[in-house]
Structure 1
Amino acid sequence: MMHEGDKGYRFRASLFSDYDRLLRSFANQPIVLNDKSIETVLPDAMGLIEVAEYLGSIPMVAKVIENYLLARGQDFFKAISIDPIIWIDVAYRIESKVMFKEALIHLVGKYNLLLSTPPTAAILRRNPKARSMLDQLNVELRDLVESKHEIIKKQCQQIEVAISTHYPSGLQKSEVTGRADRDGIGRQEYGRDVFSWIGVALYRHWWGQTLANDGTHNNQFGGQDIYARLHKGGSAYLTRELTAGFNTHFPMSVKGKSVLANNLDIIKVGVSAIVAPLMVNESQLDIASSPIKWLTCTKVMGGDYLWEPEPEPELEPELEPEVESYSGKGKRRAEEAFDDEDEEAEEADDEEDEET
């Protein structure tokens, strides 16, 4: 605090005007903040919050501060996206759910960046044990951000697995009689799909390199850059110029190159739908006019508001889908091709554990 007699006392010029604003609220007079810009309204708001906390009067000023800030519209939401740590602290102190949600979304999106950014000298003076910018957060906020980050990370990993096992529609075949001449599962039938399979191989070659280079959820901005390109599809990635390198090792005719490019485009369309959930913007920032480099798909639930957790609505339990038994014949999703092997490996491990 910044009051005489406090251990951390230091004088600031606006202290008297902050008290003046607060006392005016006691007399039911309007509070006026310098709302010329976000840069001018923030110091006034922070000063008012500090004196209100000192006197236990936050409820008297919280709504006024929130209204002043929200009145700035997209300028305010952009300010939150730039420095969500400051704004989640403000939101937490005045118990503003709108501001808290916005700041939390951007904090989770920038988690990797903030975790890898060393603390400033000012932060180290306040907290000598700080190792990253995230160490500015109190324990409750840090735990919340960590848990929301883990949710997004798991979602990204699931989507990356789905991309790794994606096959274009129409490529998979059905086995009914087990006879190649009747089911269309002979060499000639597979030979007709050779360019589709080359497309799958080339796509997974590129995707495997991307994963190996930590170009997805582990990168600085949580993979937003690559996910955005995957969602856009088309010439956003794996362009024809890039595939030209592939053709130096595997030459093709002009028509063959065109067919391969078309097959890659088909795969990209399927992948775009897989990545779509990560492209949802849960924040109020207009990312079309103010582009950002991190994900904003974090869902903030009622229970995330630390000062007043809202009970989550009870959802009816989903019925387990009926699973058709697989007799070795008939069509089965290609993505499940290795599921049985995984189950058998787990069973073998269990048997070994029992023997030991």
Structure 2
Amino acid sequence: MSAANLGGDGGDGFPEFNDGNVIIIIAAGYQFKLHLDHLKRSAERFRKLFAEGAASANQSEAVYGKLSRITAVDEAPAAPPPRKKAKKADATHYLVLQGVDERDLDTNCGVLVPTNKDAIIQNPMIAGNLNAKIEQRYIRLWRNVLGALYHADMTLDQTDLATLIKDSVGMVSIARYLGCLPVVSYRIEHALISQGDTLWKSILNNPVAWMDLAWRVGARDIFKECLIHLAGIFHRLTADEKRSIPYEVFSKVEEKAQLLERYKASVDFRLASWISPDLKPGPIPPGGKVGQDHGRTAYADQIYMWIAQHLFDHFLKFAFQNGDNRGAPDGGFHFYQTIYRGGDAYLKKSDQDRFHQGDCPMTPKAQRVLFNAIADLKIQAKEVVRPLFTNAAKIDREKEKLLHFTCVPVTDEELEWLHIMKGIKKGKSRGEGEGEEEESDESEHAVA
């Protein structure tokens, strides 16, 4: 059996170290040769297995003089044969993976069973006989998890989103069984984040599925990205999608969605009461008197801007009346985006022409002055809705042309909440009762 089939370097290093003293057989022909002390330090399962003496070393056969022998009463004792030199004890420990259910690989990762060299020689298929395709996937997942204990890079199948999530869930299942989730969760998240835009686009397209994975793994950055997107699209999630969000996380998603609604309500109030800064002559100084800046001439000089303000208010009035703001099916996104874009997105020249052709005819020159006043006002109004278009997510809003808001902040304290809820905090995990210990960042066996 050789680890070469696992894609090792062919030299001394993970997955087969020359000085390794624990052989872990995942499938027929596939093994890891690792270090007892390092495994015990890194994962609770190995501490338990070896502490109980379950994975005992292969013992040498006893010398002839210690064997029980039965001789006939009337027979003279035979002369003892020459004493055999005792073989040196094999200090290697053997573990074999068994109990794998092909129907449920993601939650049933199998169990490691102590064995010995003779049993392996007598039964090369001791690790079972999995479907070849499933076997290769399972070997890869176990390699990734055990490799994480040696700081080795993970190999992810990026065929599609479903496969990527499925593999990550499988690795979490293995890590939970071994009791090394803090080490592996960090590695899984790091491997996923290294995909860059591919990951962020996948989360954008399916934040519900990714939230489930982020919760399982305890992945801070992925959790944050999912939470931001789910808050932005909460109004259009179906009942089934809401049920798919982990129960422990749903209240946090709902809380962020409500925060976004308060942001939009605040913007609505500011829009309804907003007056262009150009129309405000400034306050009267304390103890002062109303001066020329507050007289008829000053206001008369701003007549075109006042007309522009009137048209803007009409636009808002009809939008609110039609329910285009936060109560709209799209959460008001199109309405707020229209104001944010400005320009010809609304109150364009054709709209103004209808205004002049109807109630308020103007000379061509007056129309041009009003047109410029409206253009200035739209630039100013953009600032009122700008907070809704700040981006707290990793995804590029403009490039991906998002149709929801990503402005809801997620604080470091809330990410700590994730780790506390999962029992993972600064390298520690309760691991569903496994009592995992801190990850050791430095190891004599770490892969460079």
The alpha carbon displacement at 1:100 in A equals 0.7
1:89 maps to which of 212, 225, 240: 212
Q: CA deviation at 1:3?
A: 5.3
CA distance in 1, matches of 2:359, 2:165: 60
Contact kept? 2:391, 2:406, Cα under 8 Å: yes
Matched, 1:285 2:404: no
Alignment of 1:19-168 (within 5 A): 19-24=138-143, 25-26=145-146, 31-38=154-161, 40-53=163-176, 56-114=179-237, 117=238, 131-168=239-276
CA contact (8 A) 2:390 2:407 kept: yes
Q: For the residues of structure 1 that align with 2:289 and 2:401, how far apart are their CA atoms?
A: 55
d(CA) in 2 for partners of 1:139, 1:40: 24
Q: Deviations over 1:182-202 (max 9, x none)?
A: 546555554443332222121
Listed one character per residue, the Cα deviations across residues 135-178 of structure 1 (whole Å, up to 9, x for unaligned) are: 21233311111111111111111112112222122323466899
Partner SS for 1:307: helix
Instruction: State the partner residue of 1:171.
Output: 279
Cα displacement (A) at 1:36: 4.6
* Native 8 Å contact 1:282 1:296 kept in 2: yes
Q: How many matched pairs? A: 292
The farther-off stretch of 157-166 and 132-141 is: 132-141
CA distance in 2, matches of 1:44, 1:77: 18
- Which digits, 9 at most, give the CA deviation of each residue in 1:288-332, with x for residues without a partner? 32221111111011232333369xxxxxxxxxxxxxxxxxxxxxx
Amino acid at match of 1:44: D
Quote the offset at 1:19 in angstroms: 4.8
Greater Cα shift, 94-103 or 220-229: 220-229
Q: Which of 394, 419, 425 is the matching residue for 1:308? A: 419
Match of 1:240 among 341, 349, 362: 349
Unpaired stretches in structure 1, ≥5 consecutive residues: 118-130, 311-356
On the 8 A contact 2:231/2:256 being kept in 1, the answer is yes
Deviation, structure 1 residue 272? 1.2
Q: Which has the higher strand share?
A: 2
CA distance in 1, matches of 2:205, 2:412: 24
Match of 1:202 in 2: 311
Structure 2: give runs of 5+ residues left out of the alignment: 1-99, 110-129, 422-448
Code of the aligned partner of 2:327: N
Match of 1:212 in 2: 321
Q: Take 2:340 and 2:103, find their aligned partners in 1: how far apart are those partners? A: 58
Alignment partner, residue 231 of structure 1? 340
CA distance in 2, matches of 1:110, 1:297: 12
Give the conservation status (yes or no) of the 8 Å contact 2:175–2:181: yes
Shift of 1:77: 0.4
How much does 1:16 deviate? 5.0
State the 1:284 CA deviation.
1.0
Compared CA separation, residues 55 and 3, structure 1 to 2 (3 A): farther
Aligned pair 1:265/2:350, yes or no? no
Identity of aligned residues (%): 26
Q: 1-side partners of 2:103 and 2:137: how far apart? A: 18
1:255 and 1:184 map into 2 onto residues whose CA distance is: 26
Q: Which has the higher helix share?
A: 1
Distance 1:10 1:32, change over 3 A: closer
Q: 1:249 corresponds to which letter in structure 2?
A: D
Q: 1:98 to 1:63 in 2, by over 3 A?
A: same
Q: What's the TM-score once normalised by structure 1's chain length?
A: 0.70
Taking the aligned partners of 2:186 and 2:330, their CA distance within structure 1 comes to 33
- The normalised TM-score by structure 2 is 0.57
Q: Secondary structure at the match of 1:288?
A: helix
Q: CA RMSD in A?
A: 3.4
Counterparts of 1:4 and 1:218 in 2: how far apart (Å)?
A: 48
Q: Match of 2:409, SS?
A: coil
Query: Whose Rg is larger?
Result: 2
